[in-house]
Amino acid sequence: MTTNKTKIFIDGQHGTTGLQILDRLKDRPDIELLELPEADRKDIGKRAEIAKAADIAVLCLPDAAAKELVAALGDSDTVVIDASTAHRVADGWTYGFPELTRDHRKKLLASNRISNPGCYPTGAIAILRPLVDAGLVRADATPAVFGVSGYTGGGKELIAVHEQPGVEPFGLYGLELTHKHVPEMKKYSGLKHSPLFVPSVGHYAQGMLITVPITRDITTKQLSARDVHGVLKDYYAGETFVPVRPLADRAWLERDRFLRADRLIDTNTMELAVYGNEAEGNVLAVASLDNLGKGASGAAVQCINLKTGVDETTGLAVAPVAVAA
């Protein structure tokens, strides 16, 4: 960056993710926010012009609109962080999960095209990638991934539905098994086949849980909960935003039994935990995060921080958590 302040343009700043990113950046003295007049918001020429004038353009748009702006930018040096699904598995784009591998931050620093991760995949990949890399989960396996999210993950349309009386308290969706998050789960988990992903939405605003059963049919050998926990703990050692809780931790449970999905809202923290039934040889890995935080806007701001050379926690809340020793 050549100026004292980093110029950032948020295209789509009035949507759910855009508003959250704006809120995390608006008071920062190191950032100058570029804005378009309301009348120009749908003018691709004006949008491309201001994006080219920015150091970083953050796209909080539908897939088609994101692709249109990227095409209009051509080979511009502007760093693009795309929060849509349009480029998450596209060639030439770097996945915006800094904790993906030990050297992934270097790849992000070298890239000017960054795809912001989806909320569900953030948790699923955080669990599966270390186990695949360690040779404990087979790359040719088909893991099951289950998730529940607050309704804000569905954007303005789903928010409007849940603000009406009589809405379902909980529901599964994606039953055709072609959810738009599956391709990135497959690619960045290191899998050869798509996982079986079953998402759901609860009648609450924010927060998310992802669970991945580590079953005999997907592993290369019989694993204990301690085995799985040890791999995750070592993989994320020192990572501020991805703490691994103590094995079979009950301290974060409500009434010693229930894990709330909304416990990490308004933070960029994603906690991982592992539970098991040793007698049956069953293991369950859990990720807890804010679908609008580490699962969306917080991840984008973390990448902005990385690209601008400031501390990755700048402007982001870190939850106080118990970490495995």
What the chain holds in terms of domains, given with CATH numbers, is 6-117+295-308 (3.40.50.720), 119-291 (3.30.360.10)
| Nearest partner of 230 among 184, 175, 274, judged by Cα | 274
Say whether pLDDT at 295 is over 60: yes
Q: For position 248, what pLDDT does the model report? A: 96
Query: For 275-299, what is the mean pLDDT?
Result: 96
CA 108 to chain centre: 15
Say whether pLDDT at 223 is over 90: yes
Q: How far apart are CA 21 and CA 300, in angstroms?
A: 7
- Band of the pLDDT at 2, cuts 50, 70, 90? very low
Token digits of residue 170: 């909980």
Asked if 245 and 271 touch (Cβ cutoff 8 Å), the reply is yes
pTM, entire model: 0.96
Q: Give the residue numbers marked as catalytic.
A: 119
Average pLDDT, the chain: 95
Q: How far apart are CA 120 and CA 123, in angstroms?
A: 6
Say whether pLDDT at 7 is over 80: yes
pLDDT tens digit sequence for 142-200: 999 999 999 998 888 899 999 988 899 999 999 999 999 999 999 999 999 999 999 99
Token digits of residue 199: 């998402």
Please give the backbone phi and psi of residue 82, each rounded to the nearest 5 degrees, phi first.
-100, 115
Query: For 117-122, what is the mean pLDDT?
Result: 98
Query: For 58-70, what is the mean pLDDT?
Result: 97
SS3 192: coil
Which of these ranges, 36-45, 63-72, 104-113, has the smallest mean pLDDT?
36-45
Q: How far apart are CA 201 and CA 208, in angstroms?
A: 9
Which of these ranges, 122-126, 139-143, 157-161, 233-237, has the smallest mean pLDDT?
157-161
